A = this chain, B = another copy of it.
């Protein structure tokens, strides 16, 4: 998606540890119109999955997932990292290593919002090692729901996340795929 590529080239900042800083348009300041366009593109690419709902992880997955949900007219659920007091005691729960924080984070979903048998589309901001997305996949499996696709704004292909997801046998869509960021130079795939 050229609009997103252009923005990454203009504003993305390479930090150490393979981290791409995009906090001027995705995950602190958010460009709502760009997210809307990304949501429309996810909707176009996943229209034929006939998903019943979108699942994402707080915090930075919310913006792209919400916009995709709007364009697909679907409900979106975000896995919580801390159980709020408004959540029932019985939940779906898993832990996943956080790439940017270096610790483990909880992923918690209320069973009411991940019904058995539904088709679930996972949308998140980054596909890096794939660990957060695999955590979301475990929640889908725990619920007895069916995973029908995985969409991310930015894939860092060199971190191998796609390989860890391919065995799931569902379409994996990245709006932008980065092949390498060596010495801070961002090289896109294709």
List which A11-25 residues lie within 8 A (CB) of chain B: 15, 19, 21, 23-24
In contact, A69 and B15 (Cβ under 8 angstroms): no
Which listed residue, B27, B35, B110, touches A66 by the CB 8 Å rule?
A: B35
Query: Chain copies in the assembly?
Result: 2
In contact, A24 and B112 (Cβ under 8 angstroms): yes
- Chain B residues with CB under 8 Å of A70's CB are 32-33, 35-36
Q: How far is the CB of A58 from chain B (nearest CB, A)?
A: 5
A interface secondary structure, majority: mixed
Which of A15, A73, A86, A109 has the most C-beta atoms of chain B within 10 angstroms of its own C-beta? A86
In contact, A100 and B75 (Cβ under 8 angstroms): no
Q: How large is the interface on A (under 10, 10 to 19, 20 to 34, 35 or more residues)?
A: 35 or more
> What separation, in Å, do the CA atoms of A67 and B70 have in the docked complex?
10
B-contacting residues of A (Cβ < 8 Å)?
A: 15, 19, 21, 23-24, 27-33, 35-36, 58-59, 62-63, 66-67, 69-70, 73-78, 80, 84-87, 100-101, 109-110, 112-113
Given contacts A32-B66, A62-B66, 14 further A-B pairs with CB under 8 A are: A15-B85, A28-B109, A28-B110, A30-B66, A30-B77, A32-B67, A32-B70, A32-B75, A32-B76, A36-B70, A58-B59, A59-B59, A59-B62, A62-B62
